């Protein structure tokens, strides 16, 4: 690796002008942002989670902003894989950048089932297998903490697709390095480090949390050093590229993650403030590196 | 339904700031793009501060349009609105808009406007755009009655108008004189209004909803409003204004804000 890191990246055999990916759940399927003209500077879009059956999502309120971050309890709301395949993916064929589909499952088999159904579409480049959602009772993060289960999920997905896929891990429990190694053994072509941190807000007057599931996924620019550390650990332990996810709000954050070993860098929560984050982060990086 | 312009992220110049009521601020922004494209009931996502925090914007209804811009009228209730309250002439502020689907206005339609407290903030723009039969406003006290030329005002403490709740102002005459009924205010007030309106007039009712928001443009699924078929709709994209018949009041009240 050379320092400062190159902004142009090679990932999954393709050259990318930008290392920036829009994180799952914060960019829909990219088409809304395309309509807003927000995809400049974006290397790839990761779709919101897709599950076998439609999921209504968690009861509101689903968001709770804290002074330094955001709690979300979306609960993988999505119209189900068949609707996505027939009605949403055709609309994304004009995206100016590759699309990865984020896949959720309630059982080891379901991940492969969803992927095999999506195989009949040719608009997406690959998958991100979400074994790490903190916001659902079944499946979700419980999968990601057990390397044995991660291995089985990855093997199942490898069997049904020739497309590359990343496995998105959880920072909540387990040993991320062990889970990452298991994912690679099962055939993963990248590791996404990582999903949201488990968080909670307490109303001290009532002892209640206004989020109905009580705990939620927490994101914040202040979590950047935690993600940098995880990216550094995982990228030193596995042979496949690491996609970072978490903590980015400025161009310098992206450069830090690239220097720590990330091949691509996702940005999520920052899009809530800055829908044009892709172009802004690229400008900031180019200024810093003179590239 | 009127078609909506593509929202854009504008750097808007603050031209004026007024405290219209204690803790209620009105800010004028110069922005020809929004002035040219906004429809009544639409909102904007405003950056409360130039720094990194808070991590989301704040959704505020477009209170009214001016020749070259728009104004926002808001209640100072927390950190974001406190930061917004100190914006002053000469400041430049990032504003994304116009967003969402506003009031469904048919040409020639006569409107009854029913507002609760600061919820009436969104009515100025509607009132400027449609033929209004009457405006009924309820508030807790005179400090919460926004200037709007209302036909009838009641307050809970009797400090403006007579003492009472806005539901006491709703009469068969008002309802049958109107082709469309706009309701905006706290959830409990809107539900009380909905329950007061007899079945035969309910198809005319439109409800302006609020929800905590992430993006404001339909991608994060954070702003769901429970609807009567058991599912959810996005406040920011399919709303914030919904036909009254869409709302699942019980589940919405359980949700809280
Ligand atoms: C479509 C829409 C239009 C609105 N129009 C107006 C208006 O014209 N005038 C006005 O005074 N207020 C309006 N609101 C409410 C306004 O957005 C909140 O009062 C504001 O976000 C509070 O921010 P805060 O940081 O001061 O409060 P805090 O309580 O510190 O905020 C914490 C978090 O909760 C969110 N939040 C708190 N209360 C609300 C609320 N009522 N609605 C949505 N999010 C909330 C904030 O955005 C923030 O993310 C509107 C809300 C929506 C959804
Ligand atoms: C509103 C919201 C919804 C999310 N939905 C998903 C999801 O469906 N699938 C997933 O794998 N991650 C989801 N995430 C996690 C993000 O993809 C990302 O990993 C995380 O937000 C960390 O990045 P950030 O700090 O840039 O936000 C979601 C995050 C947010 C804030
Ligand atoms: S606020 Fe993101 S979908 Fe409505």
CATH number of the domain within which B72 lies: 2.40.30.10
- Look at residue A139 in the predicted model and tell me its pLDDT: 67
B212 C-alpha to ligand 1 centroid (Å): 7
Q: Is B105 inside any structural domain?
A: no
Q: Are the C-beta atoms of B61 and B74 separated by less than 8 Å?
A: no
Same domain for B63 and B184, yes or no, is no
- Look at residue B3 in the predicted model and tell me its pLDDT: 52
pTM over 0.80: yes
What is the token pair recorded at B22?
A: 């204690």
Dump the DSSP string for B38-100: --TT-EEEE-S-SSS-SSS-EEEEEEEEETTEEEEEEE--SHHHHHHHT--TT-EEEEEEEES
Same domain for B114 and B95, yes or no, is no
Q: Looking at the complex, does the CB of residue B213 fall below 8 Å from at least one CB of chain A?
A: yes
Select from B75, B99, B123 the last residue of a domain: B99
Query: Using CA atoms, how far apart are residues A43 and A277, in angstroms rounded to an integer?
Result: 12
Q: Looking at the complex, does the CB of residue B233 fall below 8 Å from at least one CB of chain A?
A: no
Query: Using CA atoms, how far apart are residues B168 and B152, in angstroms rounded to an integer?
Result: 11
> Beta-carbon neighbour count of residue A66 at 10 Å?
15
What is the token pair recorded at B93?
A: 């502020």
Same domain for B171 and B197, yes or no, is yes
What is the token pair recorded at B170?
A: 């709703």
Of A61, A67, A269, the CB nearest to B212: A61
Query: Using CA atoms, how far apart are residues B252 and B232, in angstroms rounded to an integer?
Result: 10
User: Is the pLDDT score of B2 beyond 50?
Assistant: no
> What digits encode the pLDDT tens for the residues B11-45?
999 999 999 999 999 999 999 999 999 999 999 99
Contacts B221 to A, Cβ<8 Å: 25, 48, 57, 62, 74, 77
**Catalytic-role residue among A38, A97, A133, A194:** A133
From its phi and psi, is residue B117 left (phi > 0), alpha (psi between -120 and 50) or beta?
left
Residue-range definition of the domain harbouring residue B208: 110-255
Q: Is B1 inside any structural domain?
A: no
* Annotation says A133 is catalytic: yes
A264 C-alpha to ligand 1 centroid (Å): 35
Same domain for B73 and B139, yes or no, is no
**CATH code for the structural domain at A9-56+77-198+222-289:** 3.20.20.70
Q: Are the C-beta atoms of A57 and A74 separated by less than 8 Å?
A: yes
Distances A94 to A36, A88, A124, B159 between C-alpha atoms, Å? 14, 12, 11, 59
Q: Are the C-beta atoms of B184 and B123 separated by less than 8 Å?
A: yes
**Helices A176-185, A224-237: inter-axial angle, 10-degree rounding:** 40
Three-class secondary structure assignment of chain A: CCCCCCCCEEECCEEECCCEEECCCCCCCCHHHHHCCCCCCCCEEECCCECCCCECCCCCCCEEEECCEEEECCCCCECCHHHHHHHHHHHHCCCCCCEEEEECCCCHHHHHHHHHHHCCCCCCCEEEEECCCCCCCCCCHHHHCCHHHHHHHHHHHHHHCCCCEEEEECCCCCCHHHHHHHHHHCCCCEEEECCCEEEECCECCCCECCCCCCEEEEECHHHHHHHHHHHHHHHHHCCCCEEEECCCCCHHHHHHHHHHCEEEEEECCHHHHCCCHHHHHHHHHHHHHCC
- Which residues does a 6 A CB cutoff place in the pocket of ligand 1? A 65; B 43, 56, 58-61, 73-75, 77-81, 118, 121-122, 210-213, 235, 240, 257
Instruction: Provide φ and ψ at A125, rounded to 5°.
Output: -80, -35
Contacts A219 to B, Cβ<8 Å: 55
Place of tokens 């971050």: A69
Q: Are the C-beta atoms of A273 and B56 separated by less than 8 Å?
A: yes
Same domain for B223 and B121, yes or no, is yes
- Look at residue B141 in the predicted model and tell me its pLDDT: 95
Same domain for B48 and B143, yes or no, is no
A74 lines ligand 2 (CB under 6 A): yes
Angle at B208 between CA B16 and CA B126, to 5 degrees: 55
- A37 Cβ neighbours under 8 A, 6+ residues apart: B6
Query: Using CA atoms, how far apart are residues B33 and B23, in angstroms rounded to an integer?
Result: 29
Q: Looking at the complex, does the CB of residue B47 fall below 8 Å from at least one CB of chain A?
A: yes
- Look at residue B234 in the predicted model and tell me its pLDDT: 98
Write out the H or E segment, with its range, that includes residue B21. Answer: strand B8-21
Query: Using CA atoms, how far apart are residues B208 and B61, in angstroms rounded to an integer?
Result: 10
How many structural domains compose chain B? 2
Same domain for B70 and B131, yes or no, is no
Same domain for B135 and B202, yes or no, is yes
Q: Is B3 inside any structural domain?
A: no
What is the token pair recorded at B119?
A: 């919820």
How many residues can be counted in chain A?
291
A/B interface, count of CB pairs below 8 Å:
106
What is the token pair recorded at B118?
A: 């600061």
Same domain for B76 and B152, yes or no, is no
Same domain for B148 and B244, yes or no, is yes
CATH number, domain containing residue B125: 3.40.50.80
Q: Looking at the complex, does the CB of residue A36 fall below 8 Å from at least one CB of chain B?
A: yes
- Say whether the ipTM exceeds 0.90: yes
Confidence of residue B1 (pLDDT cuts 50, 70, 90): very low
Of A33, A56, A68, the CB nearest to B53: A68
Same domain for B87 and B197, yes or no, is no
B8 in helix, strand or coil? strand
Q: Is B104 inside any structural domain?
A: no
Q: Which residues of chain A have pLDDT under 50?
A: none
B253 in helix, strand or coil? helix
Same domain for B115 and B238, yes or no, is yes
A49 C-alpha to ligand 2 centroid (Å): 10
Place of tokens 């914007």: B57
pLDDT averaged over chain B?
95
> What digits encode the pLDDT tens for the residues B193-229?
999 999 999 999 999 999 999 999 999 999 999 999 9
């Amino acid at each position: 690796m050379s320092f400062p890191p190159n902004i142009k990246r090679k990932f999954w055999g393709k050259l990318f002008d930008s290392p920036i990916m829009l994180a799952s759940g914060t960019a829909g399927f990219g088409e809304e942002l395309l309509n807003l003209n927000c995809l400049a500077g974006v290397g790839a879009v990761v779709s919101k989670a897709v599950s076998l059956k439609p999921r209504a999502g968690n009861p509101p309120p689903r968001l709770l902003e804290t002074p330094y971050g955001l709690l979300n309890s979306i609960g993988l709301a999505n119209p189900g894989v068949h609707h996505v395949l027939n009605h949403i993916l055709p609309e994304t064929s004009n995206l100016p950048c590759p699309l990865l589909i984020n896949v959720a499952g309630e059982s080891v088999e379901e991940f492969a089932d969803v992927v095999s159904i999506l195989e009949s579409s040719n608009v997406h480049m690959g998958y991100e297998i979400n074994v790490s959602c903190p916001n659902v009772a079944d499946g979700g993060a419980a999968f990601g903490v057990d390397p044995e289960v991660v291995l089985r999920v990855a093997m199942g997905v490898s069997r049904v697709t020739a497309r590359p896929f990343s496995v998105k891990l959880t920072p909540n429990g387990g040993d991320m390095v062990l889970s990452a190694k298991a994912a690679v053994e099962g055939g993963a072509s990248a590791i996404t480090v990582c999903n949201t941190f488990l968080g909670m807000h307490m109303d001290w007057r009532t002892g209640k949390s206004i989020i109905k599931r009580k705990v939620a996924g927490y994101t914040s620019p202040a979590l950047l050093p935690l993600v940098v550390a995880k990216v550094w650990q995982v990228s030193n332990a596995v042979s496949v590229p690491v996609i970072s996810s978490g903590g980015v709000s400025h161009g310098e954050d992206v450069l830090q993650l690239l220097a720590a070993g990330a091949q691509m860098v996702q940005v999520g929560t920052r899009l809530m403030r800055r829908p044009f984050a892709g172009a802004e982060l690229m400008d900031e990086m180019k200024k810093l590196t003179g590239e | 339904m009127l078609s909506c312009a593509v929202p854009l992220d504008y750097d808007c110049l603050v031209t004026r700031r007024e405290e219209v009521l204690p803790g209620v601020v009105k800010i004028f922004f110069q922005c020809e793009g929004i002035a040219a494209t906004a429809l009544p009931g639409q909102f904007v996502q405003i950056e409360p501060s130039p720094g990194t925090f808070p991590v989301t914007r704040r959704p505020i209804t477009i209170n009214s349009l001016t020749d070259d811009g728009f104004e926002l009228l808001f209640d100072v209730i927390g950190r974001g609105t406190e930061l917004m309250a100190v914006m002053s002439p000469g400041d430049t502020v990032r504003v994304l808009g116009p967003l969402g689907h506003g009031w469904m206005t048919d040409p020639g339609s006569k409107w009854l406007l029913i507002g609760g407290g600061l919820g009436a903030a969104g009515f100025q723009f509607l009132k400027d755009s449609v033929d209004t039969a009457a405006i009924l406003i309820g508030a807790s006290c005179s400090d919460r009655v926004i200037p709007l030329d209302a036909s009838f005002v009641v307050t809970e403490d009797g400090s403006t108008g007579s003492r009472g709740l806005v539901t006491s102002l709703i009469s068969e005459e008002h309802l049958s004189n109107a082709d469309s009924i706009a309701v905006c205010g706290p959830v409990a007030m809107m539900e009380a209004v909905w329950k007061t309106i007899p079945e035969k007039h309910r198809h005319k009712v439109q409800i302006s909803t609020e929800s905590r928001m992430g993006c404001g443009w339909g991608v994060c699924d954070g702003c769901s409003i429970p609807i009567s078929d058991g599912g959810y709709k996005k406040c920011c994209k399919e709303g914030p204004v919904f036909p009254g018949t869409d709302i699942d009041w019980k589940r919405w009240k359980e949700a809280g804000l």
